Structure 1
C-alpha cells in the first residue's frame, strides 16, 4: 500500500449514497475511494486489496452490516471502521458498543459531520455523532437497554418460532406474506445478535 495514499472502502447498497460519500471523502488530500454494494463484493475485494478505512451502512438486502464489520476486523485488522447509518435505536448502540470501531455518524446529520469524522479518524482519533454518544452513555447507566425492545409483531413471530412453526405457517396465522415473516426473523436475529433460529429462540426467552 502506498503510504502517501489513504485508501477508503465504502459499503452501501445504494449507489447514489456511495457516490455521495466518495465525493465528500475525495475533497480531502491523498485519498482514494472504492465502493461496493454486497457481501460477495467485499469478500472479493479484501482478498486482493488493503484499506485504511471502511465506511459502512448497517442494513443490506442479503445480510447486515454487523457481519461486514466482523469480516473486516478478521481479514483487515488494521482497517479503521466508520459506521454511517440512519439507525439510532438503543439496540443498535448496544451492538456497536461491543465492537472495536473507530466511529459512527448518523445519516440524519449534515454531511459535513461525515467529513469531520473521516478527518478525525485519519488523524488517529475516534469520532461519534452526538446522538450515538448520548445513547451510549444512557446505555451504560440504564439496565433496560441491555435487552432490545421488540414490537408486538416481533414478539408474535418470535413466540411462533419458539413453538417450532415454519415461516409459511407463521405467515398464514398472521395473514402476512412469507417474505414479511422472513424480514421480521432477520430483524429479530439482528436485534438479539443470534446466528440461527435456535439461538434466537434461546435469547428470546430472556424477553418473555
Structure 2
C-alpha cells in the first residue's frame, strides 16, 4: 500500500512514517503544503492520502476537493488536531473517507488507512454517533444568529476585529466576545480557524 502524508509538522510526519514503515507492506512519501501535496498525489497516485486540515497555502478540506477533482476515486483520510465532530463532518462533506484525531491512539491512523484502502470508511464511534444524531452538524452554521453570520463573513473577507467593530457600530470588546462564542459554537480553536470556516462555507 502506498500512502502520501500531507502535513507541515515534521514530527507528525516522521512519527507516521515510522508507524507505517514498521508494517512492512506500506510505502510512504510526504509533502508539506497543499500545492506540493497535490503535485505528489498526481505524480505518485497513492492508495490513500493522509491530509492535515491546517496546511500552508490551502486547507486540507480544499486539498481534498482538488484531489477528488483529478481522481473521483481517490481515498483521503483527514488527520487533524481538531477532535470536534464538526470538523469530521466538514471532512466527509469535502469527500474524505476517514477522519482521525491526532490526540487519539496513533495506531488508529493505521486502522483507518487499511479500512479506507479496502474501500471502507473510518470514523471513531463517538464521532459517527454525533454525525448521525446531531442535526446541527449537517449545517454547522444553522445555530448562528444573523449577527454572528455577518461577523464570520467579515472575518472571511480578511477584516480585523477592529474593522468589524467599526463596520458593525459596536465596541471591539463586543466583537471579541462574539468571536469567542463563535469559536465554541463551531469547534474552532483559533481566529484563523474561523477564517477558514468562513471560506469553506463560502461566506467570504
Superposition TM-score, scaled by structure 1 size:
0.70
Of 147, 151, 156, the residue aligned with 1:158 is 151
Compared with structure 1, are the counterparts of its residues 82 and 168 closer, same or farther at alpha carbon in structure 2 (3 Å cutoff)? closer
Task: Provide the rounded CA distance (Å) in 2 between the counterparts of 1:159 and 1:64.
Answer: 17
The answer to whether structure 1 residue 37 and structure 2 residue 42 are counterparts is no
TM-score normalised by the chain length of structure 2: 0.71
- Flag as ranges the 4+ runs of structure 1 deviating above 4 A: 149-152
Distance in 1 between residues matched to 2:9 and 2:109, nearest whole Å = 17
Q: Which residue of 2 aligns with 1:125?
A: 120
Looking at structure 2, the residues matched to 98 and 159 of structure 1 have their Cα atoms a distance apart, in angstroms, of 20
Whole-Å separation in 2 of the counterparts to 1:159 and 1:132: 25
- Is the CA contact 2:34–2:56 (under 8 Å) kept in the aligned structure 1? no
For structure 1, list consecutive stretches of 5 or more residues without a partner in the other structure: 1-5, 177-182, 201-208
**RMSD in angstroms over aligned alpha carbons?**
3.6
Confirm whether residue 91 of structure 1 aligns to residue 98 of structure 2: no
Distance 1:88 1:160, change over 3 A: closer
**Any gaps of 5 or more consecutive residues in structure 2?**
167-171, 176-189
1:168, distance to aligned residue in structure 2 (A): 8.1
- Give the drift of 1:11: 0.8
Contact 1:58–1:83 (CA under 8 A) maintained in structure 2: yes
SS of 1:17's partner is helix
Q: Secondary structure at the match of 1:127?
A: coil
Query: What displacement does 1:58 show?
Result: 1.1
Total equivalences in the alignment: 183
Answering whether residue 177 of structure 2 is matched by residue 170 of structure 1, we say no
Shift of 1:26: 1.7
Alignment of 1:56-67 (within 5 A): 56-67=51-62
